[in-house]
Amino acid sequence: MELLIALSIGVLVACGVYLVLRASTFPVVMGLTLLSYATNLFLFAMGRLAIGVPAVIRPDATVYADPLPQALVLTAIVIAFGMTAFAIVLALKARGETGSDHVDGEVDS
Amino acid sequence: MMHLPILPILLPLLAGIVLLLLRPLGVKVQRMVSFGAGFALLMLAVLLFDASLSGQRQVYVLGNWSAPFGIVLVFDQLAALMLLVTAVLAVGALWYAIVTETDAQGRHFHVLFQMQLFGLNGAFLTGDAFNLFVFFEVLLLASYSLLLHGGGAKRTVAGLHYVVVNLVGSTVFLFALGALYGALGTLNIADMAVKVAALPAKREGLVMAAGLLLLVVFGLKAALFPLYLWLPAAYANTSAPVAALFAVMTKVGVYAIIRVHGTVFGAEAGNLAYFYAPWLLGLGLVTLLLAALGVMAAFQLRVQVAYLVLASVATLLIAVGLQSQAALAAGLYYLVHSTLLAGGMFLLADLIVRGRGDYADRFDPGMQMPHYQLLGGVFLLAAMAAVGLPPLSGFFGKVWILQAALPHPWHWVVLATVLLGSMLLLIALARSGSVLFYKVKAKPDAADPVITETIPAFGLSMVAVLWLLAAVPLLVVLANPVSAVMERVAAQVLDVSGYQSAVFAPAVGGK
């Protein structure tokens, strides 16, 4: 399971970095999204991976999952969502004002 | 008075919400409320700074969840100093935005401005690394919108780059925090310092990597080489009051390095003590040289001032990288000087743009601008302060930093770089001043545009410029008491065990 999680985080980051380095705005926004997904998985894994273990106190439980990373991931998801929305609107605005979706606002010749 | 530390966070937040609701009443009401809130924040900052001089750290426990389980606000002299500088800068920028009607170029300028202050003040006060991330996001989101305020294609493209770079930075920030949490099991800054001191040897590499990742993030915010390429475009293309307020944004990165790295990887961190300092010093020196070259190469005054901001941040990072109490105190003195000076210079550059009609701030000989004696005189003084010529505060700051650098093994490199950078700045600013104020055409060519006879609201705009630039002579006149205060602030910042015992003390207030 650890290997699977590590590989998925790695693949997500690799794809995200590749897309962020593209020259059009849409892949860049997609890349930012993939990067934030990778971050969320990474944060989640930092609380150590456990299956079927409660995060909230229960009388019959002996082992607990760490609840803090889960709270951090929730916060990170909300922030990433807001930022992605902002980035999309800004990309549209740039497209409208410069007449191209190139990240430097250049019109392809 | 025990609720004082949270007021600088609540005041701009509430002001922002109220301003949002006041929008139907028109921009005049918004201006009054916004400036009133800004002025109240300044008064509050003065009050808090005065309270901090006793050297007593105040810890505000949110929701009474004591550290390290809950989030705490730690109010000490460094936080108070940053709050005061930000409030002074904000009042100047806000005044300028109101008198030049920059705030009427788009919606919600005042709301965003207050939210920006909310994020800044929160970042200065928080004692929790993840909470620092959240406040970073608040101030960044406000800064994205402020940067774009007023529109224009160039501004949008510069804004897009700024947003994407900072979003990638936020991702790296989360990776760093995640790795630190995984290795240390806590995100409270004081508690992280305790855990690092007791770290098993096999985890050191991981924590070091996470610490350097954090340095990348804060370096991005502070525009450290090689992560500074977003700064000149963003600062030169935005409106003047926003650029003036952004003079403190790079300093947030420096503050975060001083606070987080200085506490977590401080003197008591065993093998990891100050491991980041050589990186900071080396990259700071490179940044300073490149910033000086940027100042030399700039075609426009606003781009030149943006590179001056970069040069001042580089000088600050060098001071932090020297890792001594004297250097840190000198750096804090320089921080106050350079932040207010950069803010004043952005406003001054905007006045010059408005006075030169179509020539704007390009370094081409244009027509004589109105009020050229006053503008030229103020520009001369500001340029002298920025270069670091005596008798102004830039000179004091730089000499103090160089003096503090003498015991350091790299002192030759530091001295040579700082002095060479200052010389390049001197050449460049002398050139721009002479092009703007001396080489004026006697009469416009036929193709030349008509020059404006007056600058609208000149007197009122000048008030804001002088308000910010007043720091330069004041820091010289009061150099003795100010430097004594900075010494105390630096001593308190480096006292990690005192910071820890304050945070882990029994909770007071915050019910």
The pLDDT score that the predictor gives to residue A95 is: 87
Q: Is B344 on the interface with A (CB under 8 A)?
A: no
pLDDT at B422 over 70: yes
Chain centre to alpha carbon of residue A57: 29
Chain B residues with CB-CB distance to A105 below 8 A: 153-154, 156-157
CA distance linking residue A93 with residue A106, whole number of Å: 14
CA distance linking residue B343 with residue B92, whole number of Å: 8
Q: Is A91 on the interface with B (CB under 8 A)?
A: yes
Q: Is A87 on the interface with B (CB under 8 A)?
A: yes
The pLDDT score that the predictor gives to residue B216 is: 93
Q: Is B131:B71 a contact under the CB 8 Å cutoff?
A: yes
The shortest CB-CB distance from B157 to any of A47, A83, A98 is to: A98
Please judge whether B134 and A75 are an interchain contact, meaning their C-beta atoms are less than 8 angstroms apart: yes
Q: Is A83 on the interface with B (CB under 8 A)?
A: yes
Tell me how far apart the terminal alpha carbons of chain B are, to the nearest angstrom.
14
Please judge whether B160 and A91 are an interchain contact, meaning their C-beta atoms are less than 8 angstroms apart: yes
Q: Is A89 on the interface with B (CB under 8 A)?
A: no
Q: Is A97:B177 a contact under the CB 8 Å cutoff?
A: no
The pLDDT score that the predictor gives to residue B448 is: 62
The pLDDT score that the predictor gives to residue B150 is: 80
Least confident of A23-37, B28-42, B365-379: B365-379
Mutate to test the interface with A, among B171, B173, B191, B230 (most CBs of A within 10 A): B171
Stretch B383-412: mean pLDDT: 89
Chain A residues with CB-CB distance to B164 below 8 A: 20, 28, 32, 87, 103
Stretch B40-66: mean pLDDT: 88
CA distance linking residue A109 with residue B409, whole number of Å: 54
The pLDDT score that the predictor gives to residue B358 is: 75
CA distance linking residue B140 with residue B150, whole number of Å: 18
Please judge whether A20 and B164 are an interchain contact, meaning their C-beta atoms are less than 8 angstroms apart: yes
The pLDDT score that the predictor gives to residue B509 is: 46
Residue B107 pLDDT level (bands cut at 50, 70, 90): confident
pLDDT at B3 over 60: yes
pLDDT at B430 over 90: yes
Helix (H) or strand (E) holding B266: none
Phi and psi at residue B367, in whole multiples of 5°? -85, 165
Bridge partners, B300 (sequence order)? B362
Average pLDDT across chain B, whole number:
88
Residue B64 pLDDT level (bands cut at 50, 70, 90): confident
How many angstroms away from the CA of A28 is the closest CA of chain B? 8
CA distances for B408 relative to A69, B326, B401, B418, angstroms: 41, 12, 11, 15
Q: H helices of B356-410, where? A: 372-387, 393-405
Chain centre to alpha carbon of residue B4: 23
Interface of A with B in 55-74 (CB under 8 A): 68-69, 72
How many angstroms away from the CA of A30 is the closest CA of chain B? 11
Please judge whether A86 and B160 are an interchain contact, meaning their C-beta atoms are less than 8 angstroms apart: no
Mapped onto helix, strand or coil, the DSSP state of residue A71 is helix
| Helices B325-355, B77-99: inter-axial angle, 10-degree rounding | 0
pLDDT at B1 over 60: no
The pLDDT score that the predictor gives to residue B241 is: 92
Beta-carbon contacts of B468 under 8 Å, excluding residues fewer than 6 positions away, are B88, B89, B92, B244, B340, B341, B343, B344, B347
CA distance linking residue B320 with residue B246, whole number of Å: 21
The pLDDT score that the predictor gives to residue B70 is: 84
Q: Is A33 on the interface with B (CB under 8 A)?
A: no
Q: Is B325 on the interface with A (CB under 8 A)?
A: no
The pLDDT score that the predictor gives to residue B510 is: 41
Model confidence pLDDT, tens digit, residues B14-33: 999 999 998 888 888 899 99
Chain centre to alpha carbon of residue B178: 27
pLDDT at A109 over 60: no
Residue B506 pLDDT level (bands cut at 50, 70, 90): low
pLDDT at B127 over 60: yes
Bridge partners, B362 (sequence order)? B300
Higher-pLDDT residue of B319, A53: B319
Stretch A77-93: mean pLDDT: 91
Q: Is B325:B494 a contact under the CB 8 Å cutoff?
A: yes
Quote the tokens at residue B175. Answer: 């990776």
Please judge whether B164 and A103 are an interchain contact, meaning their C-beta atoms are less than 8 angstroms apart: yes
Residue B203 pLDDT level (bands cut at 50, 70, 90): confident
The shortest CB-CB distance from B153 to any of A35, A82, A105 is to: A105
pLDDT at B367 over 90: no
Chain B residues with CB-CB distance to A68 below 8 A: 181, 187
Percent over 70 (pLDDT), chain B: 97
Q: Is A79 on the interface with B (CB under 8 A)?
A: yes
Helix (H) or strand (E) holding B75: strand B72-75
Chain B residues with CB-CB distance to A103 below 8 A: 157, 160-161, 164
Tell me if the bond preceding B278 is cis, omega within 30° of 0: no
**Amino acid in the structure at residue B153:** A
Mapped onto helix, strand or coil, the DSSP state of residue B73 is strand
Q: Within a 10 A sphere around the Cβ of A6, how many other Cβ atoms?
A: 13
Please judge whether B174 and A98 are an interchain contact, meaning their C-beta atoms are less than 8 angstroms apart: no
Percent over 90 (pLDDT), chain B: 50
Please judge whether A32 and B171 are an interchain contact, meaning their C-beta atoms are less than 8 angstroms apart: yes
Stretch B429-436: mean pLDDT: 90
CA distance linking residue B459 with residue B452, whole number of Å: 16
The shortest CB-CB distance from A39 to any of B174, B181, B182 is to: B174
Instruction: Look up residue B321 and give its DSSP letter.
Output: H
Q: Is B423 on the interface with A (CB under 8 A)?
A: no
The shortest CB-CB distance from B178 to any of A46, A79, A104 is to: A46
Chain A residues with CB-CB distance to B186 below 8 A: none
How many helices, marked H, and strands, marked E, lie in chain B? 22, 2
Mutate to test the interface with A, among B160, B163, B203 (most CBs of A within 10 A): B160
CA distance linking residue B376 with residue B432, whole number of Å: 11
The pLDDT score that the predictor gives to residue A107 is: 66
Please judge whether B175 and A93 are an interchain contact, meaning their C-beta atoms are less than 8 angstroms apart: no
Helix (H) or strand (E) holding B59: strand B58-61
Phi and psi at residue B96, in whole multiples of 5°? -65, -40
Q: Is B168 on the interface with A (CB under 8 A)?
A: yes
Stretch B124-130: mean pLDDT: 92
CA distance linking residue B308 with residue B343, whole number of Å: 11
Model confidence pLDDT, tens digit, residues B246-278: 999 999 999 999 999 989 988 777 788 888 889
Give the torsion sign (CA, A82, A86, A89, A91): negative
Residue B426 pLDDT level (bands cut at 50, 70, 90): very high
Please judge whether B178 and A28 are an interchain contact, meaning their C-beta atoms are less than 8 angstroms apart: no
Q: Within a 10 A sphere around the Cβ of B253, how many other Cβ atoms?
A: 24
